Structure 1
């Protein structure tokens, strides 16, 4: 329902134009009154009939508003008040100026009984800039649409937002239509200055007049994502897709804009849908499209989709940039597809591109995990030839490659090279990789030295590092040293885990340190794996009686032995000494003669 509103207007007519001002009327009067005063400047005061203005928001009450119009874009309030006082109207001429709300499409019909429609914008978000308060429009002496459109274009390019919007509103009220270029320029000006509400009003005007292009949609969607968030922009785009006219106006740039917006919130599902929509709507992706797709899919961990986008990019004869190639190399390296990564790496070198250290490290690590040690070191040599300095990631990848290839001696030699190289900071990963090689070779003395160096470096020593040293002592059959390392570990307030106790137990069993084995079991929390290891070790060492006692204790504690433990216990039970059976045949004394 509309709301009845009374509007009064006073018009000050000048030689070069006229001024419109609002004067409130008596709410009880329903007559029309027009007064003329002849002079150089004529003041006309009139009461207009009741106007019905519809409301589009329940909680918003429209104010009585009119436009102040003159030949320029800015009205001089002081000159108007002085003019009124000189005409001698006194209190009756005390005009009250009121401000217009943000303009919607305001159309005046010839029949004043028809209510004009005012579009009311929704409430601005808190993080938007305030809407421009365009409370007056200009009287247009120039009525040529192209000339006025050029003026809007110049004002928009120079960021004269208020003047550009006032001129646009003046053309709108005068029934003039700015051209497409001017509308897009004004839209861009408003949005880049944070005036989203005004920009959306201009955008709605362009939609009604069918002036929108893909550039218009891209501007609005990007602005909404910045002001209201990416999710709001995605919702707006989905709503636009339901409109056939909007969907027909979409071009590849619009889809690229939305793909970029989805990438900001890592929405790879919507990104994939947009990728498919480009094909379904008979659009062709650009180089930017595929670069965005590869980057987003890699960041979201969707490496298969990233490879598909990269393949399609190559098929469409687009040249991938170094960022795209770096992303694909990283994706292939993580998925173990070192051959594809190496092929892309070669293409970069052949194209004159210089892979960055991250790509080198990813490729070296992938080759090392695949057991391609020689290729890994070839890539490392290329890295040095291009001027890149190896970092801790590079060294750790090379050490890991040698360790996986069971080339532990070479790994320790490389570690010594790394330690003596300048500018390389040894971290715990490098220490642990070297300790792993020491553990495999049983170099307990070398492992101890590395442990002391790690502690002296001030870095935190993990339980895994102590376990590796204890493991080296176990392999070297040095249980006493292993127990000393364990005591030092406890003194350093480092918590032992199951692997620590298992390694100690195995070493003590082979060293026949049975008291220490029992002490370790008592110190550790009840664990079936520890009891299984002790029982099996005792059986192998011939300590069956101790194994039986420990097996009974294990069952009493509610722990379940594994299959190997049960099998060994059954085997030992069958070996019990049994009483000798009497012989079936008794030897007669008469044959004792032959025995003698």
Structure 2
């Protein structure tokens, strides 16, 4: 029995007493399924040497063995043989592209895919699963532009995207920050009568809220509710935040009530988004009222972010006394007082024309070793100017060592 050198090493050729191609092909399938690569290779080479042709099913069974357990050259040899004999299927192309992408990277796989697409015989064989494979590998490399191109080519070749294809598209576009494309892929999926998965709809809601498309987010949310899907706190918070940003405070509170009806408990982020929804809608008094409600019923949830959100309304209303009370409460509770916290109270003093109180807050800030920023200096100096406290203005300018600060203030006064 002569030996034949192949990419697997030395492949022993056998004299085949059995000459029936179908029977031998079944043996080849069984050997491949049992991962007996060497034995399967010897039988494959022996059949070819004897002028017998393995079936397409047999070759497709052996190819995955080469892909997972042998060098890429072995898989390529089998692929070229199958293509030459007209036995290559969509599954064949999927396997070989996976092998090339895993061994040589997505760029090599894409080059191979482009060549396959140009071949007339291959065009008829490539199916949506082959496209899914390339979309996956390009998406894993964060190449969203290539993914979009593959998606468009899928349409050009009149291939209908599967649920898996749209799942891949949405996840890739969301991860790459391409919200518009994610929403477009989702809408196309709905138009084709496909039912999106829970993960896809959650990703779409995240994209919609990011883009400020709260109406589309709400419709997707309603679809999830009708389907009995799991609606988590993060999802509610995301929509409440989006509604608040667009000044839809009443809808934001409807979502909050729905959240409670769903048996969920609001967290710190929920309250922050509701407070900001009221503030952005110009309902600053309601914002402070809600804050005190939270302080009374959920004191353990209070953190520096919630206090700062309430301080924004104090600044807007010029409620310097209220702002001071919140500032002292923060100190008493041991919460972090940042430059932002002090700035809001100084801003409230400026609005209320209380320059001397603003100076005391400013001095307290310095004593607590909290470094003032440009906004601090601009606010405290404006307050002192309108109070004609010129000596204090000079002292602050000297302490700040900011040569351009005075020019900034003069420009604001002129405006």
TM-score, normalised to structure 2, is: 0.90
In the TM superposition, residue 524 of structure 1 has moved relative to its aligned partner by 2.8
User: 2:84 & 2:397 partners in 1: Cα distance?
Assistant: 83
Q: Which residue of 2 aligns with 1:111?
A: none
In the TM superposition, residue 449 of structure 1 has moved relative to its aligned partner by 4.5
CA contact (8 A) 1:418 1:424 kept: no
Q: Which residue of 2 aligns with 1:386?
A: 262
User: 1:194 & 1:460 partners in 2: Cα distance?
Assistant: 60
User: 1:225 & 1:427 partners in 2: Cα distance?
Assistant: 49
In the TM superposition, residue 422 of structure 1 has moved relative to its aligned partner by 5.9
| Greater radius of gyration (CA) | 1
Root mean square deviation, CA, Å: 2.7
In the TM superposition, residue 516 of structure 1 has moved relative to its aligned partner by 0.6
CA contact (8 A) 1:392 1:424 kept: no
CA gap 1:443/1:194 in 2 versus in 1, 3 angstroms? farther
Corresponding residue to 1:253 among 108, 123, 129:
129
User: 1:478 & 1:405 partners in 2: Cα distance?
Assistant: 26
Could you say what secondary structure the match of 1:346 adopts?
helix
Corresponding residue to 1:374 among 243, 250, 261:
250
Could you say what secondary structure the match of 1:138 adopts?
coil
Structure 2: 5+ residue runs without aligned partners?
Answer: none
Relative contact order: is structure 1 or structure 2 higher (C-alpha 8 Å, sep ≥ 6)? Answer: 2
Q: Which residue of 2 aligns with 1:564?
A: 414
CA gap 1:223/1:365 in 2 versus in 1, 3 angstroms? same
Q: Which residue of 2 aligns with 1:397?
A: 273
Could you list the per-position Cα deviations for residues 448-489 of structure 1 after superposition, in whole angstroms to 9, with x for gaps in the alignment? 444455567676544222211221233344433422332343
Could you say what secondary structure the match of 2:13 adopts?
strand
Corresponding residue to 2:52 among 176, 179, 193:
176
CA gap 1:421/1:182 in 2 versus in 1, 3 angstroms? farther
Could you list the per-position Cα deviations for residues 376-431 of structure 1 after superposition, in whole angstroms to 9, with x for gaps in the alignment? 11112222222333333322211110111122232233334444566965454323
CA gap 1:393/1:532 in 2 versus in 1, 3 angstroms? closer
Higher mean C-alpha deviation, range 143-152 or range 161-170: 161-170
User: 1:518 & 1:563 partners in 2: Cα distance?
Assistant: 17
Could you list the per-position Cα deviations for residues 210-255 of structure 1 after superposition, in whole angstroms to 9, with x for gaps in the alignment? 2111111111222332333323322221232232222221011111
Higher mean C-alpha deviation, range 347-356 or range 500-509: 347-356
Structure 1: 5+ residue runs without aligned partners?
Answer: 1-18, 21-65, 68-99, 103-131, 536-560, 566-596
Could you say what secondary structure the match of 2:87 adopts?
coil
In the TM superposition, residue 367 of structure 1 has moved relative to its aligned partner by 0.8
User: 2:146 & 2:98 partners in 1: Cα distance?
Assistant: 16
Q: Which residue of 2 aligns with 1:523?
A: 399
User: 2:26 & 2:84 partners in 1: Cα distance?
Assistant: 21
Confirm whether residue 435 of structure 1 aligns to residue 299 of structure 2.
no
In the TM superposition, residue 149 of structure 1 has moved relative to its aligned partner by 1.4
In the TM superposition, residue 159 of structure 1 has moved relative to its aligned partner by 2.0
CA contact (8 A) 2:11 2:38 kept: no
CA gap 1:218/1:466 in 2 versus in 1, 3 angstroms? same
The number of equivalent residue pairs is: 415
